Amino acid sequence: MEPATKPSAQTEDAAIARMDWAELEAECVRCRRCGLCETRTQVVFGVGARDAEVLFVGEGPGEQEDLQGEPFVGRAGKLLDDMLELIDLDRSKIYIANMVKCRPPQNRDPLNIEQEACSVWLSRQIALIRPRILVCLGRIAAMTYIRPDFKITREHGQWTVRNGIMTMALFHPAALLRDPRRRPETFVDLKTLQEAIRSYCTHTY
Ligand code: URA
C-alpha cells in the first residue's frame, strides 16, 4: 500500500502546472515518472531564452545530450545549428526542448507511455514561455502538437494554429543526416519559418 502522504498523479500534475521556472527545473531533474529514469545519465531539461517567441521541440535526448545535459549537441545538433544560422537564428533567440527529457535506450522512439508521463514538464514550459511559433522537429513532436496521424513527408512546412500558437514541422535533423536529398525542401521550409517570424514575432529580430 502507498503511504497516505504520497500525492496522487492529478495532484502532482496540478502542482507542476503552477510551478515557476526554478521549481520546475528542480523537480524535473529529479523526475521518476517513467522507466527512462532508470537508464538516463541526466535529465535534459531544455535550453535557450525563457521568453522566446519561437520554440523548437525535438524527440528525445541521444547519447551526447544524455551525457552533456543539453538538447541537440550531437551530430544532429550541429546540423540544427547550421539550419538556424541560415535564417539568422541561434540558441540564444529561441528555446529548444524535447518530447521526452530522458534518453530512450539505443535512441529508440519514445513510447507513448513515456511521452505521456513526460508531457507535463513540456506543457508547463510552453505555458511559461508563451511562444508565438512552435516548430516540431520531426514526426514524433508533430504527432502531438499538430495531429496524431501527421505525415512528415507530406505535411512538413505547413502551418496550423494550435492553442493560439502557429505550429509547423521540419524534417528532424537526424533524418536530414540520413537522407540529404530532403535538404532542399527543408531550406524552403526554413525560409517559410523566417517569414513567419518576421511577420508575427516582435523581439526575435
Ligand atoms: N534528437 C532529438 O530529437 N533531440 C535531441 O536533443 C537530440 C537528438
State how far the Cα of 130 lies from the Cα of 164, in Å rounded to an integer: 10
Is 60 a pocket residue for ligand 1 (Cβ < 6 Å)?
yes
Atom of ligand 1 at shortest distance to CA of 98? Answer: 4
Q: Which of 41, 44, 59, 81 to mutate to test the pocket of ligand 1 (most atoms within 8 A of CB)?
A: 59
- Tell the residue number behind the cell numbers 502542482, with chain if given: 15
Instruction: For residue 185, count other CB atoms closer than 10 A to its CB.
Output: 15
pLDDT at 204: 61
Query: The pTM is what?
Result: 0.95
Q: Which of 56, 57, 72, 139 to mutate to test the pocket of ligand 1 (most atoms within 8 A of CB)?
A: 72
From the centroid of its chain, how far is CA 122?
A: 8
Distance 102 CA to ligand 1 centre (A): 10
pLDDT at 7: 76
Amino acid occupying residue 130: R
Contact 88, 205 (CB under 8 A): yes
**If the chain, 205 residues long, is cut into consecutive pieces of 10 residues, what is the mean pLDDT of each piece?**
71 96 98 98 98 98 98 98 97 97 97 98 98 98 98 98 97 98 98 97 76
Distance 56 CA to ligand 1 centre (A): 11
R_g of the chain, CA atoms, integer Å: 17
State how far the Cα of 68 lies from the Cα of 73, in Å rounded to an integer: 8
